[in-house]
Structure 1
Amino acid sequence: MALAAGMRVRARALLRAGAQLRGAALGRPEPAGGGGDGARRFANLRVLVETDPAAGVAVMKLKNPPVNSLSLEVLTEFLISLEKLENDKAFRGMVLTSDYPGVFSAGLDLTEMCGRNPAHYAEYWKAVQELWLRLFLSNMVLVAAINGACPAGGCLMALTSDVRVLADNPNFVIGLNETQLGIVAPFWFKDTLVNTIGHRASEHALQLGLLFPPAEALQVGIVDQVVPEDQVQSTARSVMARWMAIPDHARQLTKAMMRKATADRLIKQRDADIQNFVSFVSRDSIQKSLQTYLEKLKQKKG
């Protein structure tokens, strides 16, 4: 309980700072077309939250085109929305998905890590840490409805969920592919993957930067179910109902017990992890590698 309370204090500090971001239009209710009786929708710039208080479930959709990259603005909006849901006792579960079928999230926004100053790198990395901690330690039941490609930071978000449902499309790959970009997945990314698929499979996956198509993702255990694309959302809701049938206090205490040691590793080393990230990403060789990759992306778009 002390751990959760400490996380809420840290989150509020970040959210107060993030609330001042330019253009943040958060929490404006609008009609939820087709959402059913009692459903509500909150219109954010980059994160859409559809709530169904009667069912006790919210659906959080990333909507940062073209690939739902996790910019500082997206991270901040997401954390603010998550805070609102967790503070509302009407909601016991959340489905995490994408508003753009075809891509769940391409992961961290590389433009936040390239050509900026150390202070910006530190601010960005603190927000990434906060995202993982808040999702990983959430009292809500979290189900990832993965309706598109899910590499790197997108995979990390999905891994924090209690259950992962992946659409059966060969293009919808999932994995931590950081080494392919010339960067290294931090220890807490690694820990999350090891907790999910085991040490040996993680060693191969991380060193090779593997991205698993649906059948392989299911076989290695990085996802729990693979279903037809048009059944991802309905399956996620069915899974949610099963988990919500368990008394909250028992499930929440069990989840905290299972995840506390992993979370504590980052919490105890959080400042050092930020310093290591800033030092690493500031290297000339890493900046050149990121710039080269971003240039290739621009050429593909052109």
Structure 2
Amino acid sequence: MAVLVSCRTLLRMLRVQTADRYEGSACRLAVASLWTRHHVLASPRHYSSDSKDDLRVRYLDGEDTGIVVVGINRPKARNAISKNLVKLMFDAVEDIKTNKKVRSMIICSLVPGIFCAGADLKERAKMHQSEVGPFVSKARALITELGNLPMPTIAAIDGAALGGGLEMALACDMRIASSTAKMGLVETKLAIIPGAGGTQRLSRVIGVSLAKELIFAARVVDGAEACRLGLVSHSVEQNSSGDAAYQRALELAREINPQGPIAVRMAKLAITQGIEVDLSTGLAIEEACYAQVIPTKDRLEGLAAFKEKRRPHFKGE
């Protein structure tokens, strides 16, 4: 009986949350705590000392409307995670989260050869000991918010993703790396541990034993090995422009773009929340998510398009 009550409660909470989301509520995607760069790189890279330029967000247009590209741009610091970058990313994630027109997000680097080198250790060295804990908590909260975005997220890793950089990528739904990229949670080299979700997310992605091995040894792997381990979905040969992973991520985003956006978001919610619970509860989550797509105009459009043998035009309604 207790299990049945818990399941019913879960379903009610999920229905409220998903309904609120599509009515424009800014509430988080969670089951009640059960919880261009194609266009950007088309023009030359221009580096700036302006702190606002540490992150560039581009909402693509034309046939790529619905894809948003978040580009990290701190060349002098190897895209290291600073207080300012955390603030800019929080603002960007908040804007993306509440934008119903966004169908997928790509996070990448605008600096050749590096995705993100982890924490800004030069800045960290200047912090008082009492400041370190709150900063790490804020970085952890940012990466959690990134993981909670309702639409599919893709990390395009065209260079080194170390420490917090890899933790950021692990919070994304999918990761694509160039074969020459380097990845690792290397915090034990500094006598600390991954503090922004790495110990939890890496274990869930590649399994507990392998995660322990990589973290304990502070091991760095290349894109090909990361693909073999299941750390990334695809490893692609790097191109002369140094953006092969980004180009493959853009192709993937374009595959997602035409699909029903509400259905894709509900599928993400069902998978993300369902994998954390037992099968019976997971099936209940799936049922509740399915219930959210039944009354949508997009579902009717999909049926009509199938009958009329044409491509559907989904509006996210």
TM-score using structure 1 length = 0.69
- Which residue, out of 108, 117, 135, partners 1:106? 117
Aligned twin of 1:201: 210
The worse-fitting range, judged by mean Cα deviation, of 184-193 and 56-65 is: 184-193
Post-superposition offset of 1:224: 1.0
Verify the 8 A CA contact 1:112 1:124 in the aligned structure 2. no
2:92 counterpart (55, 63, 81) = 81
* 1:187 to partner: Cα distance: 8.1
SS in 1 for 2:59: strand
Counterpart check, 1:254 vs 2:263: no
Q: CA–CA distance in 1 between the matches of 2:228 and 2:209?
A: 14
When residues 132 and 251 of structure 1 are mapped into structure 2, their CA distance, relative to the original with a 3 A threshold, is: same
Q: Does 1:61 align with 2:71?
A: yes
Residues 177-196 of structure 1 mapped to structure 2, 5 A cutoff = 177-186=186-195, 188-196=197-205
- Give, as a single letter, the amino acid of the residue that structure 2 aligns with 1:47: L
Query: In 2 relative to 1, CA 228–32 (structure 1 residues): closer, same or farther, beyond 3 Å?
Result: closer
Superposed CA RMSD: 2.8
Give the direction of change, closer, same or farther, for the CA distance of 1:182–1:118 in structure 2 (3 Å limit).
closer
1:188–1:81: structure 2 CA closer, same or farther, 3 Å change rule? closer
Q: Encode CA deviations 1:223-273: one digit per residue, 9 max, x unaligned.
A: 111112233222111111223344333332332344348999xxxxxxxxx
Q: 1:162 aligns with which of 169, 173, 186?
A: 173
CA distance in structure 1 between the aligned counterparts of 2:27 and 2:136, rounded to whole angstroms? 19
Q: Please name the residue that 1:20 is paired with.
A: none
User: Which residue of structure 2 lines up, in the alignment, with residue 124 of structure 1?
Assistant: 135
- Give distance in 2, aligned partners of 1:255 and 1:191: 19
Deviation at residue 83 of structure 1 after TM alignment = 1.6
Structure 2 counterpart SS, 1:166: strand
**Match of 2:161, as an amino acid?**
C
| Residue 231 of structure 2 corresponds to residue 218 of structure 1 | no
Provide the rounded CA distance (Å) in 2 between the counterparts of 1:122 and 1:202.
24
Task: Give 3-state SS (helix, strand or coil) of 1:84's partner.
Answer: helix
Partner of residue 297, structure 1: none
Cα deviation for residue 220 of structure 1 reads 0.6
Q: Which runs of 5 or more residues in structure 2 are unaligned?
A: 1-13, 30-38, 44-50, 278-317
Give the aligned residue type for 1:51.
Answer: Y
Tell me how far 1:65 sits from its aligned partner.
2.2
Distance in 1 separating the partners of 2:220 and 2:93: 28
Q: Which amino acid aligns with 1:239?
A: L
The whole-number CA distance in structure 2 between the counterparts of 1:138 and 1:237 is 18
Which position in structure 2 is the counterpart of 1:141?
152
Q: Describe the shift of the 1:32–1:161 C-alpha distance in structure 2 as closer, same or farther (beyond 3 A).
A: closer
Between Structure 1 and Structure 2, whose CA radius of gyration is higher? 2
What percentage of aligned pairs have identical amino acids? 23
Alpha-carbon distance in structure 1 between the residues aligned to 2:276 and 2:220: 25
Deviations 1:94-145 (A, max 9, x none): 1111011100000112244434235522431232122111111111211111
Q: C-alpha separation between the residues in 1 aligned to 2:102 and 2:81?
A: 25
- Asked if 1 retains the 8 angstrom alpha-carbon contact of 2:188 and 2:215, the reply is yes
For the 8 Å contact 2:140–2:195, the answer to whether it is kept is: no
- The alpha-carbon deviation at position 90 of structure 1 amounts to 2.1
Aligned to 1:236: 249
> What secondary structure, in the 3-state scheme, does the structure 1 residue paired with 2:69 have?
strand
Aligned 8 A contact 2:164 2:196 in 1 = no
Instruction: Tell me the distance in 2 between the aligned counterparts of 1:120 and 1:102.
Output: 31
Following the alignment from structure 1 to structure 2, what is the Cα–Cα distance between the partners of residues 181 and 196? 24
Q: Is the 8 A contact 1:166 1:214 kept in 2?
A: yes
Match of residue 162 from structure 2: 151
User: Please, which runs of 5 or more residues in structure 1 have no aligned partner?
Assistant: 9-30, 36-42, 265-302
Residue 97 in structure 1 maps to residue 105 in structure 2: no
8 Å contact from structure 1 (residues 106, 149) kept in 2: yes
Question: For residues 65 and 234 of structure 1, do their structure 2 counterparts lie closer, same or farther at Cα, with a shift above 3 Å needed?
Answer: closer
Q: TM-score, normalised by structure 2?
A: 0.66
- 1:51 aligns with 59
| SS of aligned partner of 1:229 | coil
